[in-house]
Amino acid sequence: MKKLHATIPAQVSLLILTFFLFSSSARIYDVTGRLVTEHRNPIANHQIVLYDDNDVQIATDQTDSQGNFHFSYQGQPTSAEPARRLDGPSEFALGSSYPNPFNPRTVIPFEVPESTDAVIAIYNILGQEVIRTRANLTPGSHEIVVNLGSGMSQGTYLLRVNGRGYSLTQTMTFLSAGISSGLAGITVRSAGQRQGALRERLQTASEPAMYRIVIEETEVYRQREVIIPALTDYHEGDITIFYRQPEEVLDIDGNSYPVVRIGDDWWMAGNLKTTRYRNGDPIPNVTSSAEWAGLVTGAYSVYNNFEGNAATYGYLYNWHAVNDVRNIAPEGWRVPSDVEWQFMVNSLGGNAVAGGKLKATGTEHWSSPNTGATNESGFRALPGGFRSAPGEFYYRGMIAGFWSATGDDADKAWYRALAYNAAAIDRSSVTRQGAFSLRLIRDTSPEPSMTGIEISPKDESVEAGESMQFTATAHFSDLSKKDATGASLWAVSPSEAGAIDGNGLFTASLSFAGAATIRAGYKEFAGEAVLTITPETGTMTDQDGNVYQTVKIGGQWWMTGNLKVTHYRNGDLIPNVAGDGAWSQRMSGAYAAYNNVGGNVATYGYLYNWHVVNDVRDIAPEGWRVPTDAEWQVLVDFLGGTDVAGGKMKQTGTMYWNIPNTGATNESGFTALPGGRRNSNGSFVNMGGIGSFWSSTEHSEERAWHYRLDADNTNVHRLNNRKEFGFSLRLIKDTKPSPSMNRLEIVARDYTVVGLGDQEQFAARAHYTDGSTKNATSASFWSVMPSYAGSIDGEGLFTASASYTGWAKVTASYDGFTDEVDLVIVPATGTMTDQQGNVYRTVKIGDQWWMAENLRATRYRNGDPIEHVTNNWIWRDLTTGAYCAYENDESIADTYGYLYNWYAAVDSRNIAPSGWRVPTDDDWKTLERYLGMSSSQANSTGWRGTNEGGNLKATGSMHWDGANTGATNSTGFTALPGGSRSSSDGRFIVLGHYARFLSASEDRSHTAWRRELSTKEAGVNRQSTYKETGYSIRLVRED
């Protein structure tokens, strides 16, 4: 018998009349049993109802903590029960529906005196037919079962039964509130045999009827009915009910996830993205790779630390979060065990194919080809990638990794992985510091109770200043364990032994030695461990044989005295530079005693510039090195930070430090000494007042990081200063394998050498396999090709030849490695500003500085205007200074400058700004001879030389018309063909073809010397011409 039971809401007033079948003399019958889940776990506080064979509720009970229930009911008919006929029906008739009102089902008795073909229909209040069926019935008692399911509206309905010779109706009230289930429909069943048996039982007490135990449907469990014999004591034993499919699961943050049943278990069908444990404590979101790598407690992150990935792929959790006693899963759910994962995999056909059945289909989230993906399980696995133990992110879109709740050993745990290119699922164990996605499983077992807490390690020793990680493990009644490290309250006794943080990380005091007790408490449980704290010291010897005490501070070994070595590791001597000037200009390693007094060295050591620190030959002995900026910071942080670490590092008292030596305790054993410093100008300052120590870390090309301690405070100052400064050195023990050199690189400020005869400093940098670099300048062998391009010394200082322009190659070699760079030797350049504010490019050619543009001045140096003459005939007759633009077009002057007569060039008011002048004929000859012209040629007239004019002319055809023969502009002079203005008629001629320049030198009373360059010539024309002619002017700087 199938029963879909509806619970009617309390707000609906419902009168249900119950007719008792038995008299007051009836005996009491007992029905017992136990309610369990499909995993045989008892179900407590669950409502169970007993119905008789007329679907009348006769008893209810609620299961106890062990799932047990007990019904009691009477077993004889009452006087209220009307007498029943023992013969068959005499007419077609409908009885009263019961229950009424109903939801979703009601039963109407139907008496049938003869065989009939009945049409049975239900009509709503509007007279619309909503359900119809036809039944061929034999004589006897029948029941019409009406089920309106979950789709009908609340209200009054009419049942109509039509057959040959009869038409019957019955009204009923349907309540849509409450739980409705099933599809709407009408069924007809025979009641004759059952009722006949009942009549016989009532009269003869023979064959008993059958009752129903109904287990109500809830949000968690499905409904179940069990048929039992009536009128007898009965023990049913275990009744198994099954879980309802939950529509969703909500985490503590309110995130909703779909749910799917796979095999016998309910699984989340989305990746977890909670940020809190079940008790509300936050799970730390750790973005830093360095911090992630050291975690021993729960944490999560989003892939690539980009929050936009979380909506689809959820978060990635380390296993410590999975195993935390505070529970990452919401109530009623948990992280699946390794066994539960395997049950699920087996239900899907095994490891070889389960991955494909679990993966979301397509390539929207998975990389192509997403092999075998069908998602027929509904699990919809998404490739969230993973985070490695060092904190790097990998393979989003390619790998879906899911933790299990099962550890493998002390350091690993089991997980499952699916890949974009496989249909299989992989089972592996991996370090607990890694991070994977999480899927939860419905928890169908009673939660075990906690029985105790255990601290690990139990009995260990640690050196002063070092740290040790403790963990707390919660033990449970089912023998399982969970991590309680992050959830516990930690303490250390005595308190001066050190400090312990909320994650069980203990740091031993620098000044305590002996036994300490570590305690952890969670809920009402506590655990203890014993720890012994011991100091550690040693010695170190440099390449000169000096012996230094060493101390271990945290995880680092440091010297406790200032370095006083005078040789590099390979035996090369470090230069001792006493002179202030030599010190300030030093670009390679050097050292000095404070004030150049040797007596200071025994206590305070030497002062070294940073070039020593970074030299490839190493100032530190084997196994030691100059600490990096990061290593200094580790020390400072370990000692409590920049505000207090200085006091813990300084030598106590005022024998070496100036008064007051604030806060000096030297509890670290570092024994910092105030060696003062040497400034970049070579002066010495502050011995007794400051202790400054280089790091090996560059700040910029000119500066490097160092750390300073002062006599008047407890701070450690992180500063950067010029590499020429002289500071003390402390070395740190090198605990890493020494990297290998893998290449040599030449470095210069600019690969173009400015100015013939000028100098350029090159440096050589050695590169190593760990990414670090060192200065190899002084250690390298230097050369230049061609040799006549210049010379280079052992410190990489290149001096260009005074007579060579063009390309050269500089080579450096060290330890089997070589590098070379190209450089070009070109003239120097600059700027000049005339009296009107016009700015011109200038160029150094030989020893002369020339303008590299044509003059555009319209005033003399004293501010008087130069006469501007546009009329041709006025121009022809001038005997005083004047200027004009070519063709009187000012736009041409912007490029080619103005044209001036000779009178303007030599006017006493000066056309040139201060420091410059119009070149003389001899100035032009000096330029020509520098460019290779012989003296005899320079003194001659007409076209002279070979390519001197080409070296002066701007290249290309943007300004020059025609061939522009021989133009290289190798000097940077950039001669432009501004044309000229005739002295005979004032006409403008030859723009684009000739560049003609005035000199200040007179030839005869009416002529002066000029220079001319042509588009057709590579030489230079020297010619005397009339003073009235208009030419361009280039100025030369006065010596």
pLDDT digit string (tens) for 66-87? 989 998 887 644 333 333 444 6
With both helix axes pointing from N to C terminus, report the angle between 338-347 and 351-358 in degrees, rounded to the nearest 10: 90
Give the pLDDT score at 242.
72
pLDDT band with cut points at 50, 70 and 90 for residue 105: confident
Of 122-131, 202-211, 300-309, 606-615, least confident by mean pLDDT is: 202-211
Structure tokens at 323: 């195993």
Peptide bond into 104 cis (omega under 30): yes
pLDDT digit string (tens) for 193-240? 344 333 333 333 344 478 888 887 776 777 888 888 888 888 888 888
Does CATH number 3.30.43.10 belong to domain 97-193? no
Domains of the chain, residue spans: 27-76+212-243, 97-193, 249-442, 450-534, 537-733, 741-826, 829-1037
468: pLDDT strictly greater than 90: yes
What's the mean pLDDT when you consider all of the chain?
Answer: 88
pLDDT band with cut points at 50, 70 and 90 for residue 647: very high
Structure tokens at 958: 């943007």
Cα–Cα dist 975/973, whole Å: 6
Give the pLDDT score at 903.
98
What 3 state SS string does 1008-1037 have? EEEEEEECCCCCEEEEEEECCCEEECCCEE
Residue pair 149/180 in contact by the 8 Å Cβ criterion: yes
pLDDT digit string (tens) for 849-881? 999 999 999 999 999 999 999 999 999 999 999
651: pLDDT strictly greater than 80: yes
Cα–Cα dist 475/484, whole Å: 10
Cα–Cα dist 463/518, whole Å: 16
Structure tokens at 351: 């490891």
Same fold, 27-76+212-243 and 741-826: yes
19: pLDDT strictly greater than 60: no
- Give φ, ψ of 493 to 5 degrees: -135, 130
Residue in this structure with the two tokens 């950039």, named with its chain if needed: 974
Cα–Cα dist 580/472, whole Å: 62
pLDDT digit string (tens) for 264-284? 788 999 999 999 999 999 999
Of 302-311, 362-371, 478-487, 995-1004, least confident by mean pLDDT is: 478-487
Cα–Cα dist 322/306, whole Å: 22
pLDDT digit string (tens) for 590-599? 999 999 999 9
Percent of the chain topping pLDDT 70: 91
pLDDT digit string (tens) for 743-796? 999 987 666 666 667 788 899 999 999 888 899 999 999 999 998 888 999 999
Does the model's pTM come out above 0.75? no
pLDDT band with cut points at 50, 70 and 90 for residue 90: confident
Does CATH number 3.40.50.2300 belong to domain 741-826? no
Give the pLDDT score at 164.
86
pLDDT digit string (tens) for 722-752? 999 999 999 999 988 888 999 999 987 666 6
913: pLDDT strictly greater than 70: yes
Does CATH number 3.40.50.280 belong to domain 27-76+212-243? no
4: pLDDT strictly greater than 70: no
CATH of 450-534, one of 2.60.40.1120, 3.30.342.10, 2.60.40.10, 3.40.140.10: 2.60.40.10
